[in-house]
Amino acid sequence: MNPINTYIEHTKLNPTLTDRDCEQLVQEAITHQFAGVCIPPYWVKKVRRDLGEKSNIQLVTVIGFPLGYNRTEVKLKEAELALHDGATELDMVLNVSAFKTGVATWIKPEIAQLAKLSHEAGAMLKVILETAYLTNEEIVTACRWSVDSGADFVKTSTGFAPAGATVEHIRLMRQTVGTHAGVKASGGVKTAEQALAMIEAGADRIGTSSGVSIVMGLQESSQSAY
């Protein structure tokens, strides 16, 4: 396993987020060399300036967040602006309403259009499934539709649903996508133990607002072993 910091997307998506919160997030990400920072679209331009143009830390933002039932045209415009502002990865919320209705003719083209837009800009697309609202069978279907439509990752949760990532769902998602896409665990991952369990189950990324405490907790555990 790689060092745990390389899995972490340092995340702040709370509605009261301020410029100082963003600055702290960036500094912590630089200090701990996290894989990325995940922030609302409003703050992408500022965070790009704070990170610098040549930073290896991914600038992740969210599209159609947190409910996902925006029209495709709205998601595309939001994505276009985010990419223009400097985002390198887009986490788009699945339209669970359309998905539950069985409208594959809406879901697949939407993901495909967002994937095309992202890839043309040299960015990646993750699809947030919001697994708390899905059965295991639906999770499998959503994963397959996402990968078939060009998504680079599937992700568990927004953090705004009744439940977040579980080891069982991560394992199921990994089994479904295989090596064709990445898997991101997000929602309720607050401790080093939880993060390690998600990685062991197949997660490539951990979206969390507790990245610093996770890294520090793992370092303390390592030191106490000697």
Could you tell me whether strands 89-93 and 8-11 are parallel, antiparallel, or unpaired per DSSP bridges? Answer: unpaired
The two structure tokens encoding residue 190: 């607050």
Pick the catalytic residue from 75, 85, 184, 204: 184
77 is a catalytic site residue: no
The end-to-end CA distance of the chain, in Å, is 21
184 is a catalytic site residue: yes
- Tokens 């030191």 locate to 223
The two structure tokens encoding residue 191: 């401790």
Pick the catalytic residue from 50, 91, 152, 204: 91
Could you tell me whether strands 36-39 and 182-186 are parallel, antiparallel, or unpaired per DSSP bridges? Answer: unpaired
Query: Is-contact 114 80, C-beta < 8 A?
Result: no
Bridge partners of residue 36, in order along the sequence: 9, 58
206 sits in which H/E element = strand 205-208
Bridge partners of residue 134, in order along the sequence: none
Bridge partners of residue 91, in order along the sequence: 62, 126
91 is a catalytic site residue: yes
Query: Is-contact 203 153, C-beta < 8 A?
Result: no
Pick the catalytic residue from 12, 75, 126, 155: 155
Q: What are the catalytic residues?
A: 91, 155, 184
